[in-house]
Structure 1
Amino acid sequence: MSAIKLVPRWSQERGNADHGWLKTFHTFSFATYQERDHQQFGSLRVINEDRVAPRTGFGTHSHKEFEIFSYVVSGELEHKDSMGNIEILKRGDLQLTSAGTGISHSEKAHGDKTVHFLQIWSLPSTSRLTPKYFTRHFSDEEKKGQWARIVAPVDAEGVSAGREGSGPAPVQSPLTLYATLLGPGKTLERSLRGKKAYVHVIQTTGYNDATAEGASVKVNGKGGQESLQLREGDGAYIFVGEQGNELVVENNGDRNAEVLLFDLE
């Protein structure tokens, strides 16, 4: 393979469940949705796009080993855990829990509005780590028309191991996560360090379990012939070839697109 290869993950083909209090999409196998062709991708194991109704949520439950991070799109998310962390997360906030040897936590919609967030899990490079908790905030301005690096390996340049602070949250996985708010007519490029990546267009204009609508972006490898048209909720597996690792994302729609890009080994 000499160029970047793109494999679509259409929004309406994701696992989907409407529990009343929770409307959720699963990019990878999760809970009752099991699909052998979508188990994980590199260290990336879960991308759940969740909408939780006001004053409801996930009660206290336990995790081990996974790196678990939440990206808040709208509303407010209340987090409590067995390490004593209590926090109300808002748009622009990112929370990362390194579950390690084991933690318990709860996540609920705070206030009178639905909370829309993405919960993402990755597999750590080392097992039986001491559990840790981190929060970061990235404003819309920091993402506007550029890639904001919001999660990066703990040993990467510019990464702080502090509970709070600036820069990306530290993850114990070979994964770097970028986010952007890309305006109509704007184009962004990104050199991919790993051999694979995943791109996801956040479903910001509302819950939709049918064919994706809303914001529109075109994704392709720089100089390559292959491209994909993605809309809100759509994603794509990206395989980096021997020649060319530049990914190009172009907003060819009529509204802002909020896009996440995972750079993976």
Structure 2
Amino acid sequence: MITVRSSEARGRGNHGWLKSRHSFSFADYYDPKHMGFSALRVINEDQVAPGAGFGTHGHKDMEIISYVLDGVIAHKDSEGNVQQLPAGEFQLMSAGSGIRHSEYNASQSNGLQFLQIWIQPDKIGGKPGYQQKNFGRRNGLTLVISPNGEAGSLTLRQDASLYQLLLDSEQTLTQALRPGRRQYVHLIKGALTIGNTPLKAGDGASIEGLAQLALQAGKAPVEALLFDLP
């Protein structure tokens, strides 16, 4: 079964310096029908004004992924990590027993657009951690986050994996799925058909009970994220 979460139906937040779209309930946006999917709790598409950002604040017991679509994030945290996260790179911050961080648009003249993703860990507590990597732009599915750091991926504290999906115009791809697992696709760019279900940019799709995914790009190249979840 494939259930589409349309881009237009997402929650909205507008704070002047920050404009955000929420795939699931977050902050002032609450929808009991959209509280997350499996261990996936948050997908926010954030647009941050030049020089603005999130001041120092705390997190606990959450795996927080940032993927920059345009611009650069300036990151600083209580574990001593001071990093720049440019477009195309993935960041994974394991909050563990508690971490404080700030993230700002590193540019004073250009906007910042990124995806903020939260996944609930399978164990609480533990030492906070920080990982960051650019996985390039290889066509097809690229494993970027996994429970065990397989194939050079970042290591997540949950039985879940994240893939970067890149397809050329009108390219097709078939991916076998493990029994008993659930998947979620968030489409960033292009038009993508999953089986007979069409998606446009900003749409999400929760997937349950399928043995394989049949993916086909439309007339423009596709960029998406594919989550494999318990």
Q: Same fold (TM over 0.5)?
A: yes
1:191 to 173, 176, 181: 176
Give the Cα separation in 1 of the matches to 2:172 and 2:87. 24
Q: CA deviation at 1:156?
A: 5.7
1:260 aligns to what? 225
Give the Cα separation in 2 of the matches to 1:189 and 1:114. 36
Q: Please, what TM-score do these two structures have when normalized by structure 2?
A: 0.95
1:224 aligns to what? none
Is contact 1:198–1:238 with CA below 8 Å preserved after alignment? Answer: yes
Is contact 1:71–1:117 with CA below 8 Å preserved after alignment? Answer: yes
- Which has the bigger relative contact order, CA under 8 A and spacing at least 6? 1
Greater strand share, structure number: 2
Aligned pairs for 1:206-217 (under 5 A) are 215-217=190-192
Is contact 1:196–1:263 with CA below 8 Å preserved after alignment? Answer: yes
2:39 aligns to what? 43
Aligned pairs for 1:114-133 (under 5 A) are 114-133=111-130
1:148 aligns to what? 142
Residues 100 and 83 (structure 1), Cα distance of their counterparts in 2 relative to 1, 3 Å cut: same
2:158 to 155, 158, 173: 173
Give the Cα separation in 2 of the matches to 1:17 and 1:59. 17
Give the Cα separation in 2 of the matches to 1:110 and 1:81. 15
Give the Cα separation in 1 of the matches to 2:81 and 2:117. 19
Is contact 1:76–1:113 with CA below 8 Å preserved after alignment? Answer: no
Give the Cα separation in 2 of the matches to 1:191 and 1:106. 39
Residue 135, structure 1, aligned to residue 135, structure 2: no
2:186 to 170, 189, 200: 200
Unaligned runs of 5+ in 1: 159-166, 205-214, 221-226
Q: RMSD over aligned Cα, in angstroms?
A: 1.2
- Amino acid across the alignment from 1:199: V
The one-character-per-residue Cα deviations of 1:82-126 (angstroms, maximum 9, x if unpaired) are 001011111221111110100000111111211111111111111
1:231 aligns to what? 200
SS at match of 1:12: helix
Q: CA deviation at 1:186?
A: 0.4
The one-character-per-residue Cα deviations of 1:113-165 (angstroms, maximum 9, x if unpaired) are 1111111111111111111111111122x2x2x10111111x3643xxxxxxx
Give the Cα separation in 1 of the matches to 2:163 and 2:82. 26
Give the Cα separation in 2 of the matches to 1:70 and 1:22. 16
Aligned pairs for 1:78-97 (under 5 A) are 78-97=74-93
2:67 aligns to what? 71
2:194 aligns to what? 219
Give the Cα separation in 2 of the matches to 1:77 and 1:18. 19
1:182 aligns to what? 167
2:103 aligns to what? 107
SS at match of 1:147: strand
Q: CA deviation at 1:185?
A: 1.0
2:50 aligns to what? 54
Q: CA deviation at 1:195?
A: 2.0
- Amino acid across the alignment from 1:45: R
Unaligned runs of 5+ in 2: none
